[in-house]
Amino acid sequence: MDGLHSQAGSKKLTEIHGNIFINRCISCGQESKEMISKNTTPLPPQCQNCNSFLRPGVVWFGESYDDFKLNLSIQRMKHTDLLLVLGTSGSVSMPVYLAQIAKDSGALLIEINPERSSFSSSVDLFLQGKTGEVLPELIREILDNPS
């Protein structure tokens, strides 16, 4: 949602909750990456295709997921070997559902969180702490012990 995975260079990325830096027309659905500036853009911003209003290209609570992105995510979860669950409360049902699909398909699940979440009982390994501190240690350990 925040674009950080894309900025980090992730190649197979499905932003199931959308991207705050993409605008979507409420009428025709056209998406735009054009930056909206309150100094140069009339507010609310308008679609260049149909002149309707633009909104952030994210899924708000209560909205449906994009079918294509959801199905792609499900397929990817069925074929993953390792899933890292990072910094989440586990209270949003779709990510928990996708993680459960990965687990049911044989993936190893590792959760890194400051506190146990509602999903912690389903993971293979729970590492307590801040993601920014624990994840580099985990990666270092894996690289130092490749077998």
Tell me whether residue 47 is annotated as binding: yes
Active-site annotation holder among 4, 6, 15, 17: 17
> Is 17 designated active site?
yes
Rounded to 5 degrees, φ, ψ at 118 are: -70, -15
Tell me whether residue 50 is annotated as binding: yes
Q: What is the DSSP letter of 121?
A: G
Sequential DSSP letters for 110-146? EEEESS--TTGGG-SEEEES-HHHHHHHHHHHHHH--
Sheet hosting strand 18-25, strand order edge to edge: 31-32, 18-25, 54-58
Write out the catalytic residue numbers. Answer: 17
Q: Detail the residues annotated as belonging to a binding site.
A: 25, 28, 47, 50
Q: Detail the residues annotated as belonging to a binding site for Zn(2+).
A: 25, 28, 47, 50
